[in-house]
Structures are given as C-alpha cells and as structure tokens.
Structure 1
C-alpha cells in the first residue's frame, strides 16, 4: 500500500512540475523587440572596441546583411545584435565583427 501511494504521489508531482515549467516558461520568457532595447551608442566602450558606426562606409557590408543580426520581425532601422546583447544596432551600421550571411 505504501508503494502505491508513493508512486502515485511521484507521478502527481512530476506531472505538476512539467505543467508548471511549461506554463512558467511561456509566461516568464518572452521575446524582446528592438523598439524595447536601447540603441547602441557609438561612444560606448564596447562599440569603440569593435569600431561600431551607425553608418557603414564599406560598400555592401552593413548590419542588415550580417550573420550576427537578430531580426525581430519589425521593419525598424534598429535591430538586436548577438555581439551587443541588450542593445539594438542600426541596420546601416558596421563593426569589426561583421560576418556576411551565407548566400
């Protein structure tokens, strides 16, 4: 009798935990749009270290065609970037971490 009750309790707790994790993940984690992120300032230490500029001077090399840009689905001129977490970069910008998207 004790084994059935502990097995039943284990299944109840496991099922409840799985449901709780699934719902908690949906409620607590959400994607952020570029509009909600602060824009990267060219004079910030990280931007300076990677030579970031808001307007690329190198033809056909800019953030909008970089592998590291994280498009958020909006048509905003500012988009999230993997190199600058928590900041958005100008899609016409450039930095020394530029990596072209595969064709």
Structure 2
C-alpha cells in the first residue's frame, strides 16, 4: 500500500511541477521568437497543412477551405508581437510563419475581421 501512495504523490508532484513550468516555457518561447527560423513552404508539416507565405497566392479552386481575407495575422493559432512580420504559430513549434500567410487549419481569432 505504501508503494501506491508514493507513486501517487510522485505523480501529483510531477503534474504540479509541469503545470508551473508551462507558463515559464511560453515566456521563453516568446523571448526567443526573433531567433526562430522561418517556416519553409517545403517543410513536410507545412506541405501537409497547405501553408503558404502569401495567402493571396492560394487557389480557392484547389483549396476549398480557403476563404478570402483569411491570413495568419487574423488566425487564433498565431502568437507573438502584433505587427511583427514573422511570428510563432501554435501549429509549427520552433518556427515562425509570415503574418500574411495561410494554412488549412486557419480559424478566425475572436474579435478579428477577415481581410
């Protein structure tokens, strides 16, 4: 029985430590955003997500998910400092995307207007 309690305690301590570390990791990620490499359109994940640096180049006939006026800068997944051209995206960890880009996972940011 005592082994069970120890395992549970260890699990809880680890879970709490992880929850505390997540916001810290986010701050470090934001601080290092300027140092992150730009996502390549040829990156395998970028290809799978249909990412392009310039949303104006998306062919709506080939990509029915695309809606005119949808850009990374008005997507809920984009993070980083408003106004920066290259910013981190939750979908492409460790890379930055162009604010005028687009991918198939685009979801409008609450309060944002397409365009």
TM-score normalised to structure 2 length:
0.59
Alpha-carbon distance in structure 2 between the residues aligned to 1:55 and 1:35 = 20
| 1:86 matched to 2:94 | yes
Alpha-carbon distance in structure 2 between the residues aligned to 1:56 and 1:34 = 22
- SS at 1:89's partner residue? strand
Pick closer, same or farther for the CA change 1:74–1:99 going to 2, 3 Å.
closer
Q: 1:30-61 CA deviation, whole Å, 9 max, x = no partner?
A: 34343211000000100000000000035210
Report the counterpart of residue 63 of structure 1 in structure 2.
Answer: 72
Instruction: Report 1:1-103 matches (<5 A).
Output: 30=28, 31-57=30-56, 58-71=67-80, 73=81, 75-103=83-111
Report the counterpart of residue 60 of structure 2 in structure 1.
Answer: none
- SS at 1:49's partner residue? helix
**Contact persistence 1:34–1:76 (CA under 8 A):** no
Structure with larger Rg: 1
Structure 1 alignment gaps of length 5 or more = 1-21
Alpha-carbon distance in structure 1 between the residues aligned to 2:110 and 2:89 = 17
- SS at 1:48's partner residue? helix
Structure 2 alignment gaps of length 5 or more = 1-19, 57-66
